[in-house]
Structure 1
Amino acid sequence: MRWTGTRETTRIDLGVALLAFSGGVVLLLLDVYSDHVRRQPPTIFLLGLGLVCAAVAVRRGSLALSLILGTAGFVVDLISGPTLATPLIYTENLYSATINGSHRLSRILLYVSVAATLALTAAALVLGGNLSSGAAVLLIGGLILVSPVVTAITVREHRDRAEAAREHAEQVALLAEMDRRAAVNAERTRMARELHDMIANHFSAIAIQSTAVLSREDLDRETTRRILTTIRENSVLGLAEMRKMIDLLRQEGDPEDEPTRHRIADVSQLVERANAAGLSTRLKVDGEAREISAAIDLAGYRIVQEALTNALKHGGPGDATVEIAFGEEQVEILVDNTIVPGHRAGLPGSAAGLVGMKERASLVGGDFTAGPREGGWQVRAVLPIQEKR
C-alpha cells in the first residue's frame, strides 16, 4: 500500500511504538512472568515485542506491512510463552488495520480472528485435557483477537453513518439553496412581466401621441388638447399602477388581495384607452362570463393589454378587434389588428411582449399563438377557467 502518513503522524506513531516497547522491556525486567517464560532467552520476547511495536510505527503508512509485522510478533510471542505486553500491543495492530482498511479487509479479519480463537480453544482442550483450560483460552483469545476487530467495525460503522448524515445534510442544504434561487428567479421574472406590461402600455401610448403632436403642425387647438388630455390620462394611470406595484413589493408575506390584479372584465377599459390613442378598437364578448381564478383573470387581461400595445406601436393607427369567448372549461382571447401600409414603428421593440404573453399563458396551463395574417397581425390565447395543477 502507498504511504499515507504525514511527517507529524509518523513521528507520533514512532513515539508511541518506542513508548510501548519501553513498557514491555520494563515488564520483562521486573520479572513478572512465570517460570516457563523466565527460562526462555530474552531475545525471543524482545523479537516479538519489537515486531508488534514496529507495526505500530508503520500503521499509517502501510496497513499490510503493519498487519504482517504485528501478526508475526504475536505468533513468536505465543510460541515462546505468552507475555503481557506483546498481546496487548497486538490488539492495537488489529484495531488499526480494521478501522483504517477496506470493508473487505475488516470482514476477513473478523472471520480469521474468530477462527483463530476457536482453533486455539480446541488446541487447549486437547492439550490441557480439561474445560477450564479451553474456557480460559477462549476468553483470552476473544479479548485479544476478536474484541479489537469487533470494536473497530462498530466504530467504523458509526463513523460511516455520521459521514453519510453529513453528506445528506449538505445535499439538503444545496437543494434548499437551489430552490431558493429558483424561487427568486421566478419572482424576478414575474415582476419583470408585470413592470413591462404596466409601463409599455401607457408609455407607448404617450410616446406615440406626443410624437404625432410634434410632427404635425396643422393640428387645431381642440385636437391638440384632446391628444394632450389622453397623454395625461396615460401618465396618471401609469403612475398609479407603478404605485400599486411598489405597495406590493413593500408588503410582507402573501397579500390576500393582490394590488396589481386586473380582470378580463376590465378589458373594456383597455379598448377605450386604445381608441383614445388612435387605434380604432372594437370589443366583442361571446358567452356568459364565468368565475375565473385570479391568476387566469390577470393573465387574460395582460395578454389583451400587451396585444393592443403592440398593435398601436407596430401596426399604426388602424383597426383592431378584441374577441373574448367564454366556454364551459376555457376562455378564448383573440386580438386582431390591421397594419397600416408603409407604417414603420416609431418605438424600438425587444420581443419581450410576445415572450411575456406566451409565459403568462403557459404558467396557467393555456395555449398561445401569435403571428402575421393577411394585412395584419393576430394574437390568440386559450386559457382554462381554473388553473391546471
Structure 2
Amino acid sequence: MAVRLPRPHRFDVFVAVGGLLGGLLLWAIGLGVRPADEPAVLFDGRWPLLAPLVVMAGSELLRRKAPRAGLLIGTAAIVADTLTQGNLVTLLMYTDVMYAAVLYGPPASARRIPWITGLLTVAGTVVPYAVLRVPEALLIGVAVGVVSFAPASTGLIVRNHREAADAALLRAEQTALLAETDRVQAVTAERSRMARELHDMVANHLSAIAIHSTAALSLDDPATTRQALGVIRENSVAGLAEMRRLIGILRDEGGDHEPAAAPTLDGLGALVEGARANGLDVTLDAAPGENLPAPVELAAYRIVQESLTNALKHASKGPVRVLLARDDDNALRVRVTSPYGDRDTPRAPGSGAGLVGMRERAALLHGTFEAGVVTDTDTDSGPDTDTDTGPAPDSAGGKIWAVRATLPLTEGDLA
C-alpha cells in the first residue's frame, strides 16, 4: 500500500527552494563552514557537501505538514554535514527545521524538544572540555546551543504566545456569544412581558365589546341596543387609550407618551365595577394587607383582571367571587371563582393565552398557579383539571371554575 506524503505548504516550498539555491551558491564559490585547507572528519572534497544540503532542503518541505519527520531527516542530514567541510546554509536550514518542529509539532514534542536540546547543549559544553581540557572546547557547546537549543526555545516561546492569543480569541468569542445569548433572552423576556401586558390591558375591553355588540345585533330592543352601544363605546375608548399608552412605551417617544403607572390593588374596586357594568355578578373580598411589593400587586391585579375577562366570556349566570388574602406564610393568595360554563362556544373568541400569562406571572415571582374545575362544596381543594381554554361546557354537579395563585411576598422569593 503506497503511503501518500502530505502536500507541502507553499511557504515551505519557497523556504526549501531558497535554501537549496543559497547552499548551491556557497558551494559554487567554495565557501564552507571550515576552511578548504582543513581536512574533513570523514568526507573530504566539495561533492559530499551536496547530499546533506539536498536532504536538508527536502526536510524543509515537511516543516509544517510533518514537523517531527522533518526534524528526524534534518538531524540525519546535519550529522552527515558535520562529517564534511560543512555548508552554512545547511546549518541555517536545520535551525529552521528545529524551530518548526517545536512550533508546529504536537504538544508533547513541543515540550520535550527544548529539554532534549538543552541537555545536549550542556553535554556538548561539559564533555568536550572535560576531555580536551582546552577553553576552545567550550565552543562546541555554544555551537550546539545556537543550532539546536536556541531555535527550539524560540519556537516554544512563539507557540506559547500563539496559544495564549488563540485562548484570548476563544474567550472573546465565548463572551460575545454569551452576550448575544443574554441579549436574545432579554429581548424574548421583554416581548413576553409586553405580550402579557397587551393581552391583559386590551382583552377585557375587546371581550366586552364583542359580547355587547352581539347582544345589540341579536335583540330587537332599542333600549337594550342603546345600552349595549354605550358599553361598547366606553370599552372601545378605554381600550384605545390603553393601546396608545402601550405604543408610546414601545416607541419610547416620551412627552405625550409617558408610561402609565402600573396598576395596584387599590384599583380592584374600579376593575370589579367595570365587570359589573359588563353584566357579571361580582363579589370582592380583598384584605391583602399593606406594604406589598409592586411586582406582587401588579401580578395579582392582572390575574384578577384576566380571570374576570374569562368569566365574562365563558361563565354561566351566577355569582363570581374574588378573594385576596395574606396568609401566615407571608404570601398573597388570590382566588377567583365563577360558575362552570354551560355553553358550546364562548361569548367572545379568545387566543388561549390568558392562563399562560397568569401562570407566567406567578412563576416569575416563584409562586404557584392553578386553574380548573372544582365542586362548589370543595372550593379549597385543588382543581381537577388545568387547561388553557377556559371552563368546559358542562354545568353538572354544581361545579365552578376556580383560579388560584400564591404569590410570595419576601424579597428572597422575588429575586
- TM-score (norm. length: structure 1): 0.89
- 1:344, 1:128 → 2: CA distance? 110
The alpha carbon displacement at 1:306 in A equals: 0.3
| Deviations 1:222-264 (CA, angstroms, capped at 9, x unpaired) | x4333322221111111111111112112279xxx85251111
Please give the residue correspondences for 1:122-137 in structure 2 after superposition, counting only pairs within 5 Å. Answer: 122-130=126-134, 132-137=135-140
The alpha carbon displacement at 1:342 in A equals: 4.4
* Aligned-partner SS, 1:60: coil
Alpha-carbon distance change, 143 to 7 in structure 1, aligned in 2, over 3 angstroms: closer
> Aligned pair 1:162/2:165, yes or no?
yes
- 2:409, 2:119 → 1: CA distance? 75
Please give the residue correspondences for 1:200-239 in structure 2 after superposition, counting only pairs within 5 Å. Answer: 200-217=203-220, 219=221, 221=223, 223-239=224-240
Compare 10-19 and 106-115 and name the one that shifted more. 10-19
- 2:366, 2:68 → 1: CA distance? 64
- 1:10, 1:135 → 2: CA distance? 34
Contact 1:3 1:62 in 2 (8 A): no
2:117 aligned to 104, 109, 113, which one?
Answer: 113
2:81 aligned to 71, 77, 83, which one?
Answer: 77
* Aligned-partner SS, 1:200: helix
Query: Paired residue for 1:250?
Result: 251
Please give the residue correspondences for 1:1-389 in structure 2 after superposition, counting only pairs within 5 Å. Answer: 3-5=5-7, 8-9=10-11, 11-26=13-28, 28-29=30-31, 33=35, 35-37=37-39, 40-130=44-134, 132-217=135-220, 219=221, 221=223, 223-251=224-252, 258-259=259-260, 261-286=262-287, 289-327=289-327, 329-339=330-340, 341-342=342-343, 344-374=345-375, 375-387=399-411, 388-389=414-415
- 2:113, 2:33 → 1: CA distance? 33
- 2:410, 2:126 → 1: CA distance? 81
The alpha carbon displacement at 1:213 in A equals: 1.9
* Aligned-partner SS, 1:80: coil
Compare 342-351 and 322-331 and name the one that shifted more. 342-351
- 1:296, 1:290 → 2: CA distance? 12
| Deviations 1:273-331 (CA, angstroms, capped at 9, x unpaired) | 111111111111236x3122222111111100000000010014432011111346222
The alpha carbon displacement at 1:359 in A equals: 0.4
Compare 177-186 and 59-68 and name the one that shifted more. 59-68
- 2:176, 2:259 → 1: CA distance? 32
Contact 2:332 2:408 in 1 (8 A): yes
* Aligned-partner SS, 1:35: coil
Question: Where does structure 2 lack aligned partners over 5 or more consecutive residues?
Answer: 376-398
Contact 1:20 1:89 in 2 (8 A): no
Contact 1:292 1:386 in 2 (8 A): no
Aligned residues with identical type, % of pairs: 38
Give the counterpart letter for 1:33 in structure 2: P
| Deviations 1:96-152 (CA, angstroms, capped at 9, x unpaired) | 11111112112332233123223332442244322x123222222211111000000
Compare 320-329 and 95-104 and name the one that shifted more. 320-329
Alpha-carbon distance change, 324 to 123 in structure 1, aligned in 2, over 3 angstroms: closer
- 1:30, 1:108 → 2: CA distance? 32
Give the counterpart letter for 1:198 in structure 2: M
Question: Where does structure 1 lack aligned partners over 5 or more consecutive residues?
Answer: none
Give the counterpart letter for 1:63 in structure 2: P
Contact 1:24 1:49 in 2 (8 A): no
- TM-score (norm. length: structure 2): 0.84
| Deviations 1:369-388 (CA, angstroms, capped at 9, x unpaired) | 11112332111112123552
Give the counterpart letter for 2:371 in structure 1: A
Contact 2:32 2:88 in 1 (8 A): no
Give the counterpart letter for 2:291 in structure 1: E
- 2:278, 2:402 → 1: CA distance? 20
- 1:158, 1:348 → 2: CA distance? 66
The alpha carbon displacement at 1:206 in A equals: 0.9
Alpha-carbon distance change, 294 to 4 in structure 1, aligned in 2, over 3 angstroms: farther
Structure 1 stretches (4+) deviating beyond 6 angstroms?
Answer: none
Compare 81-90 and 365-374 and name the one that shifted more. 81-90
- 1:274, 1:134 → 2: CA distance? 106
Contact 1:74 1:86 in 2 (8 A): yes
Contact 2:245 2:259 in 1 (8 A): no
Alpha-carbon distance change, 28 to 61 in structure 1, aligned in 2, over 3 angstroms: farther
Give the counterpart letter for 2:312 in structure 1: L
